[in-house]
Chains A and B, each alone.
Chain A
Amino acid sequence: MSERNQLTDPKSAASSERPVSPAVDIFEDATGITVLADMPGVSRERLDVKLDGDTLSIEGRVELDAPAQMRALFAELSVPRFRRTFTLSRELDAGRIEANLKDGILTLQVPKLAHAQPRRIEVTAG
């Protein structure tokens, strides 16, 4: 049974393993799309939110304040990196994304472009 893993062995090399995809909730209302991603153990300095064209990527590195001499007994979360990418559709205003990280939850809000928002059109009579 392996007794060391990257999350509890501070000396191990930075991720040779594939990052884990964080669980997300995504919903859309009239004003835009909201994405919530579970990224426990990720602080602001270890979080990367990148926009490349219409591809949005979120990446976070987990850091535990574990004592140096700790060895793992078992680990359900064994890869210390989260990563997930999304393709934003055309009616979203990618330039106005808002990101917030609190207690390990990353919240992204992407508004729709002004002209794509549902509008009520006034009908004039006569």
Chain B
Amino acid sequence: MLEIMHTRPQSLFDQLDAMQRLLSRSFGGEGAPGGIRSVAYGAFPEINVGRTPDSVEVFAFAPGIDASSIDVTIERNVLKISGERAAAVPPRDAKAQVYANERPAGRFSRAVSLPDDVDPMRVEARYRDGVLRISVALSAAAQPQRIAVR
């Protein structure tokens, strides 16, 4: 929340407005607050981030994508996931009637801020059952180190 305040003009109304929007997203009933780089509510793919003692785990829920075409990059601790999903509904001129078209289609791109202590050289990405799982190891230097006292 502090980050949002610093990227916006400092007028009181702007700060209250930014806080209001962050809160309504947080308590809209859909889970914990998103990071500052979470784009619009309902962006595709949805992302969950977790942390273990030695890694950060990012899960992107993206069914029906060709794994080899997903673009995963890390730059300055920002993880970016981009790709494209083909539309499944028939085009307008086909002899078909479309009743629902809720599944996002087309190009997508999402960015996630990673904590400062990640090691961008040690990343693994796996795609299974429509979930892209990206594991980023934490850098060894950032691990708490026990110092012996003589």
Q: Do A and B bind each other?
A: yes
Interface residues of A (CB under 8 A from B): 1-2, 5, 7-8, 23-30, 36, 38-43, 64-67, 69-78, 102-105
Q: Which residues of B contact A29 (CB under 8 A)?
A: 90, 94-97
- Most B CB contacts (10 A, CB to CB) among A30, A43, A72 go to A72
A7–B96 contact, CB under 8 A? no
Task: Known A24-B103, A103-B64, A105-B63; judge A72-B129 contact (CB<8 A).
Answer: no
Kindly report which residue of chain B lies nearest to residue A20, judged by CB atoms: B30
Known: A40-B129, A70-B51, A105-B130. 18 other contacts (CB 8 A): A7-B48, A7-B59, A25-B89, A28-B96, A28-B97, A40-B62, A66-B50, A66-B59, A72-B50, A73-B50, A73-B51, A74-B33, A75-B48, A103-B63, A103-B65, A104-B129, A105-B63, A105-B64
Report the Cα distance A65→B64, complex, angstroms. 19
What distance in Å separates the Cβ of A102 from its nearest Cβ neighbour in chain B? 8
Kindly report which residue of chain A lies nearest to residue B132, judged by CB atoms: A40
Q: Is the interface of A mostly helix, strand, loop or mixed?
A: loop
Q: Which residues of B contact A23 (CB under 8 A)?
A: 102-104
B63–A71 contact, CB under 8 A? no
Kindly report which residue of chain A lies nearest to residue B94, judged by CB atoms: A29
Asked if B148 is at the interface (CB within 8 A of a chain A CB), the reply is: no
Q: How many residues of B contact A (CB 8 A)?
A: 45
What distance in Å separates the Cβ of B95 from its nearest Cβ neighbour in chain A? 6
B31–A74 contact, CB under 8 A? yes
Task: Known A23-B102, A24-B102; judge A104-B49 contact (CB<8 A).
Answer: no
What distance in Å separates the Cβ of A21 from its nearest Cβ neighbour in chain B? 9
Asked if B57 is at the interface (CB within 8 A of a chain A CB), the reply is: yes
Q: Which residues of A contact B90 (CB under 8 A)?
A: 27, 29
Report the Cα distance A67→B55, complex, angstroms. 10
CB contact list, B28-44 vs A, under 8 A: 30-35, 38
Asked if B5 is at the interface (CB within 8 A of a chain A CB), the reply is: no
Asked if B100 is at the interface (CB within 8 A of a chain A CB), the reply is: yes
Asked if B79 is at the interface (CB within 8 A of a chain A CB), the reply is: no
Report the Cα distance A76→B38, complex, angstroms. 9
Partner of A77, one of B48, B52, B94, B127: B48
